[in-house]
């Protein structure tokens, strides 16, 4: 394969993965307008995101089998075509039911794109170029979800929510044509059988996990019979899947690959990496809007600073590729921890510069971590396992994001509520601070208006404490992964790494 064709395949793959990655969070910006347009309740409109994530979680582990059975070219072309059509149908949907159905198709068709794309570039490029091509590929995976909500937010303000989907269709067509022209077939495996038992068990476990994470806080967790039922079904399905995978001759996912030290450690690290990746983008916007008073357009621009940091991080990762990958991962997670410490200093009057610094640091750390993490995880695996192992790799990244976002949101709500209850104990006529002259006209305990203002201030301060607690948890997660990094063992480089 010529160098020109390799880079053309890289360009086509970058287009496909970037577009799919953009759809992950783009809906979060347009949910309020969708709700009004489709006459949905707040609980109903969340299914637009939930079922898309469920479809992605279920289909992603199938990527390895699909590639082995039908080949890279066929799977990528069908995925891209299906993603393009379903994205257009999302834009023209006239009812909530239709939109949810098309979002399921969008997630299902797009799910194999990222793991197969990574497997393809690791296979067609020589090992000595893996750091470079992984950094380029990572920009599409990581930067897409950052810029997607920004562009979707502006188009929604100018037109309506449908244009957040329409803007992706022409680019998806370009990606399909490029894949058709340049991508050759590969990845097939003879006599490959599909393990329906393992697939159904894993799909049930992942579906229950996602439903618990998405609906747990809304239904008050274990106080809800639905949540308890989903936990029981999910645990039973996961247990049965593990037993079946170890006993079957040809399981859906070969867990024996976990005996590879680098691969198993890489899965743990990417799980934590996924936990840290998108959480600030979900937690910070409500803080900035509800407590800081920032408009949506400004919030999107501030979070877009993360994209500039990610580009710098990938550039630095390429420069650091000549060193031990563990050095880059350590620098990246340390920068994540520093950004968490910085966010823990925020208050309700947080300025634009502080938010931009935190976002830029997080983006840079994402770029620094991704390249050495991919290189280290797959450094000791045979290439014939790339399709299957990259699917699990990206699956755990998505699962980590779902888990930590749910935990962070729950912490904000729960600790905010408890702190509100504690702080109201200090609101009484006997509190001397409330009798200071400068506060009498604002916080008057003798009038209804004054009490309402006090209640609003206490609620805002309690919510701010909840956000700070979430940032503290983010910082702790950034630190605890550091010992795992230095347990990775890198093979010695040779001139034959082609």
Residues 280 and 163 in one domain: no
Q: What is the pLDDT of residues 16-62, one digit of tens each?
A: 888 887 887 677 667 777 878 888 876 677 778 778 877 887 888 88
| Boundary residue ending a domain (191, 209, 243) | 191
Q: Does residue 216 sit in the same domain as residue 268?
A: no
Euclidean distance between CA atoms 22 and 155, whole angstroms: 14
If we measure between CA atoms, which residue out of 73, 12, 122 comes closest to residue 385? 122
Number of domains the chain contains: 3
* Percent of the chain residues past pLDDT 90, beyond the cut: 31
In the chain the first and final C-alpha atoms are separated, in Å, by 13
Give how far Cα 122 sits from Cα of 117, 133, 237, 406, Å.
Answer: 9, 8, 33, 33
Instruction: Report the pLDDT value the prediction gives residue 439, as an integer from 0 to 100.
Output: 67
As given in the structure block, the two tokens for residue 159 are 């037109």
- Is the same domain home to 393 and 459? yes
CB 307 within 8 A of CB 363: yes
pLDDT of residue 495: 45
Task: Please write the tens of the pLDDT for every residue from 183-237.
Answer: 888 767 766 678 889 999 988 998 898 888 878 877 888 889 999 999 999 999 9
pLDDT tier at 496 (50, 70, 90 boundaries)? Answer: very low
Mean pLDDT, residues 433-456: 75
How far is residue 232's CA from residue 255's CA, in Å, rounded to a whole number? 23
Q: Give dist(CA 429, CA 435) in Å, integer.
A: 8
Distance between CA atoms of residues 102 and 255, nearest Å: 33
Burial 340-366 (b: 16+ CB within 10 A, else e): bbbbeebeeebeeebbbbbbbbbbbbb
Q: Are residues 356 and 322 in the same domain?
A: yes
Is residue 85 within 8 A of residue 101, CB to CB? The reply is: no
CA atoms of 415 and 156, how far apart (whole Å): 33
User: What CATH number is associated with residue 184?
Assistant: 1.20.1250.20
Mean pLDDT rounded to a whole number for the chain: 85
**Helix/strand/coil for 347:** coil
Q: What is the pLDDT of residue 498?
A: 46
> What is the spatial distance between Cα 58 and Cα 109, in angstroms, rounded to a whole number?
11
CA 473 to chain centre: 17
Return the percentage of the chain with pLDDT > 70, whole number: 94
User: Within this chain, do residues 204 and 292 fall inside the same structural domain, yes or no?
Assistant: no
Instruction: Give residue-wise pLDDT tens across range 70-119.
Output: 888 899 999 999 999 999 999 999 998 999 899 999 999 998 988 888 88
Q: Do 259 and 296 reside in the same domain of the chain?
A: yes
Written as six digits, the tokens of 486 are: 């230095």
- Looking at the structure, tell me whether residues 224 and 116 fall in a common domain: no
The pLDDT tens digits for 376-435 are 998 888 878 887 888 889 888 888 887 888 888 888 888 988 999 998 888 877 777 777
Range(s) of the domain holding residue 225? 195-251
Kindly tell me if the per-residue pLDDT of 364 is higher than 70: yes
Torsion, CA 430, CA 431, CA 433, CA 437, rounded to 10: -30
């Amino acid at each position: 394969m010529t160098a020109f064709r390799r880079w053309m395949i890289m360009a086509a793959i970058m287009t496909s993965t970037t577009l799919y990655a953009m759809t992950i969070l783009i809906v979060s910006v347009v949910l309020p307008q969708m709700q009004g347009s489709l006459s949905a309740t707040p609980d109903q409109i969340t299914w637009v995101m939930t079922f898309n994530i469920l479809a992605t979680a279920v289909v992603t582990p199938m990527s390895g089998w699909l590639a082995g059975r039908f080949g890279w070219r066929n799977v990528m072309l069908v995925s891209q075509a299906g993603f393009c059509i379903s994205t257009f149908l999302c834009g023209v949907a006239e009812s909530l039911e239709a939109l949810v159905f098309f979002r399921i198709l969008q997630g299902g068709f797009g799910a194999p794109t990222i793991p197969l794309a990574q497997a393809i570039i690791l296979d067609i490029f020589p090992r000595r170029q893996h750091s470079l091509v992984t950094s380029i590929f990572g920009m599409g995976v990581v930067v897409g979800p950052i810029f997607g909500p920004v562009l979707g937010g502006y188009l929604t303000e100018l037109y309506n929510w449908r244009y957040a989907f329409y803007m992706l269709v022409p680019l998806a067509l370009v990606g399909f044509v490029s894949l058709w022209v340049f991508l050759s077939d590969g990845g097939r495996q003879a006599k490959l059988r599909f393990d329906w038992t393992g697939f159904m068990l894993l799909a049930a476990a992942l579906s229950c996990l996602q439903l618990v994470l998405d609906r747990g806080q809304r239904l008050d967790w274990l106080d809800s019979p639905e949540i308890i039922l989903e936990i029981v079904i999910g645990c039973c399905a996961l247990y049965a899947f593990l037993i079946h995978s170890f006993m079957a001759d040809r399981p859906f996912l070969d867990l024996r690959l976990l005996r590879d030290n680098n691969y198993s450690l890489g899965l743990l690290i990417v799980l934590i990496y996924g936990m840290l990746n998108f959480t600030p983008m979900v937690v910070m916007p409500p803080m900035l809007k509800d407590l800081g008073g920032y408009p949506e357009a400004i919030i999107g621009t501030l979070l877009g600073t993360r994209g500039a940091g990610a580009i710098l991080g990938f550039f630095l990762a390429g420069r650091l590729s000549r060193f031990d990958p563990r050095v880059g991962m350590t620098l990246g997670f340390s920068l994540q921890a520093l950004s968490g410490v910085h966010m823990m200093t925020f208050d309700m009057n947080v300025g634009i510069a502080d938010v931009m610094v935190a976002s830029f640091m997080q983006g840079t750390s994402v770029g620094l971590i991704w390249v050495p993490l991919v290189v280290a995880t797959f450094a000791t695996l045979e290439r014939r396992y790339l399709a299957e192992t990259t699917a699990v790799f990206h699956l755990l990244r998505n699962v980590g994001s779902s888990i930590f976002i749910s935990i962070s949101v729950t912490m904000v709500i729960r600790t905010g509520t408890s702190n509100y209850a504690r702080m109201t104990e200090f609101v009484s006529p006997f509190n001397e601070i409330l009798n200071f002259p400068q506060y009498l006209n604002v916080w008057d305990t003798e009038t209804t208006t004054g009490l309402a203002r006090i209640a609003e201030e206490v609620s805002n301060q309690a919510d701010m404490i909840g956000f700070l607690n979430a940032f503290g948890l983010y910082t702790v997660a950034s630190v605890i992964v550091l010992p795992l990094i230095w347990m990775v063992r890198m093979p010695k480089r040779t001139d034959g790494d082609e």
